[in-house]
């Protein structure tokens, strides 16, 4: 017997419209390339993203077309995060830290019809330009004239109406595209559906995940080209949290100034970022007031136990260790110990906190050895397999990689893990026959 609930598609359009209706006065803040601070609101973001959708449609962008961004974290990039899917196109974030050869391969493999980039990244684009053929190149000038041959973003959207009627969009339609940065072979594309990104946002918002609400102030240090900044811009927009972006300035002092000045409550980045920030705090005691900061998400590589302990014991700051992959949208596990943690002495407490944690809702995990699934005893090692509504079932235009997906519907991560009786996962190694396919997480 079927249930009698309405079949309303889960799309980014709903998250976007919700932000415009309920959070119009909430702030979006970012540091510009010249280090000045720019302030906006969800209301302005909502209007401008619709102007962008109109402009892209006028340029001939059709549903399903890939529109790439090559940019740092800022409010105009957030407009593209929603303006591109709003018109039915696919948001494709490009990683400027890859080699020019890899970026050119990715642009051509994705068949990007439009590229929108930061003016500060134009020298990189110049090196790619002979190898790629998008129909249009648009530049965020940040108040400066754009290079010859490019379309000025502000001039492009200025005449457009701040009202856009999206084409029919289904929840299984493509909304985003990210490429892995594996250590061997070409990068591989992961094509996200609207449904996957919405479900991932819901997962991220629950208390034992990122736990975001409209009371939060969120600063993703992780770049918006790294698996959509781990989904934070989508989740923050869904709940109406104030968003703070560092622009191209990722040095520890610039980040610390933003954390303190904007009273950030949750931030996220890779271990190298937090190690540099811990060093600055140690060298400048009392300089920054971080009392508002309740959660620092760390992922991308294993978080040193000494770092977790240092932040908590010396500054009262909580590191939450996370693990995920490009293929997972990307959150897979987080370490937020519950009652078990309160029973542990200090050394064991921090040892537990350094694990990758337990699977978030809607992510199933198993460890598989030569003889099949291994027990959850904290000792037996096996390759980690995952499945869920936010996990890829294949790569974009890459049937040769079908062996990464099992016949019974799981994705082979390539990580060798142990899982303890309470589900805490610890990565111990990489499978020798697999590349690091989750490199962009």
Catalytically annotated residues: 180, 327, 436, 441
The distance from CA 61 to its chain's CA centroid, rounded to whole angstroms, is: 24
Contacts of 114 (CB under 8 A, 6+ apart): 56, 59, 61, 65, 67, 68, 134, 135, 136, 137, 138
CA distance linking residue 340 with residue 360, whole number of Å = 17
Q: Is 148 exposed, middle or buried, given 0-12, 13-18 or 19+ CB atoms closer than 10 A?
A: exposed
46 within 8 A of 16, measured Cβ to Cβ: yes
**Which single residue is written with the structure tokens 């990189």?**
124
Peptide bond into 94 cis (omega under 30): no
Query: What CA dihedral angle connects 181, 89, 14 and 4, to 10 degrees?
Result: -100
The answer to whether the beta carbons of residues 49 and 83 sit under 8 Å apart is: yes
| Size of the chain, expressed as the number of residues it contains | 441
End-to-end, the C-alpha distance of the chain in Å comes to 41
Give me the DSSP letters along 335-403: ----HHHHTS-HHHHHHHHTS-BEEPTT-EEEEEETTEEPPSSSS--EEEEEESTTS-SS-BT-GGGGG
CB 322 within 8 A of CB 331: yes
Greatest Cα pair distance in the chain: 65
Can you tell me the distance from the alpha carbon of 165 to that of 55, in angstroms, rounded to the nearest whole number? 13
β-pairing verdict for 151-152 and 66-70: unpaired
Alpha carbons 225 and 217: distance in angstroms, whole number: 20
Q: How far apart are CA 441 and CA 427, in angstroms?
A: 15
Beta-carbon count within 10 A of 366 CB: 17
């Amino acid at each position: 017997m079927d249930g009698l609930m309405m079949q309303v598609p889960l799309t980014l359009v709903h998250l976007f419209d919700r932000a415009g209706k309920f959070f119009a006065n909430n702030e979006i803040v970012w540091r510009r390339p010249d280090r000045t601070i720019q302030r906006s609101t969800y209301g302005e973001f909502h209007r401008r993203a619709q102007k962008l959708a109109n402009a892209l449609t006028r340029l001939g962008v059709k549903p399903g077309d890939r529109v790439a961004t090559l940019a740092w974290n800022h409010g105009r990039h957030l407009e593209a995060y929603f303006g591109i899917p709003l018109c039915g196109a696919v948001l494709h974030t490009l990683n400027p830290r890859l080699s020019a050869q890899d970026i050119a391969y990715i642009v051509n493999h994705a068949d990007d019809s439009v590229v929108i980039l930061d003016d500060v990244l134009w020298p990189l684009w110049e090196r790619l330009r002979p190898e790629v053929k998008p129909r249009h190149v648009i530049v965020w000038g940040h108040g400066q004239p754009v290079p010859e041959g490019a379309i000025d973003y502000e001039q492009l959207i200025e005449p457009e109406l701040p009202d856009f009627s999206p084409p029919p969009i289904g929840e299984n339609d493509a909304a985003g595209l990210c490429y892995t940065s594996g250590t061997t072979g070409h990068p591989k594309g992961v094509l996200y559906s609207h449904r996957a990104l919405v479900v991932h946002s819901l997962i991220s918002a629950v208390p034992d995940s990122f736990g975001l609400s409209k009371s939060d102030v969120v600063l993703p240090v992780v770049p918006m080209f790294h698996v959509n900044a781990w989904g934070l811009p989508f989740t923050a927009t869904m709940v109406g949290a104030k968003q703070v972006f560092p622009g191209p300035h990722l040095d520890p002092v610039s980040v610390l100034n933003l954390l303190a000045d904007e009273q950030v409550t949750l931030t996220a980045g890779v271990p190298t970022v937090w190690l540099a920030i811990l060093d600055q705090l140690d060298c400048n005691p009392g300089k920054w007031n971080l009392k508002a900061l309740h959660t620092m998400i760390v992922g991308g590589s294993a978080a040193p136990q000494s770092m977790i302990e240092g932040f908590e014991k010396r500054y009262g700051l909580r590191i939450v260790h996370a693990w995920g992959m490009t293929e997972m949208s990307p959150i897979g596990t987080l370490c937020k110990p519950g009652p078990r943690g309160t029973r542990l002495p200090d050394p064991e407490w921090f040892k537990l906190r350094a694990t990758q944690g337990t699977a978030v809702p809607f992510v199933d995990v198993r460890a598989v050895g030569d003889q099949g699934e291994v027990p959850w005893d904290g000792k037996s090692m096996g390759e980690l397999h995952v499945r869920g509504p936010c996990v890829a079932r294949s790569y974009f235009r890459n049937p040769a990689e079908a062996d990464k997906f099992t016949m019974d519907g799981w994705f082979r991560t390539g990580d060798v893990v142990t899982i303890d009786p309470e589900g805490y996962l610890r990565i111990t190694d990489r499978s020798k026959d697999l590349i690091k396919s989750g490199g962009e997480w």
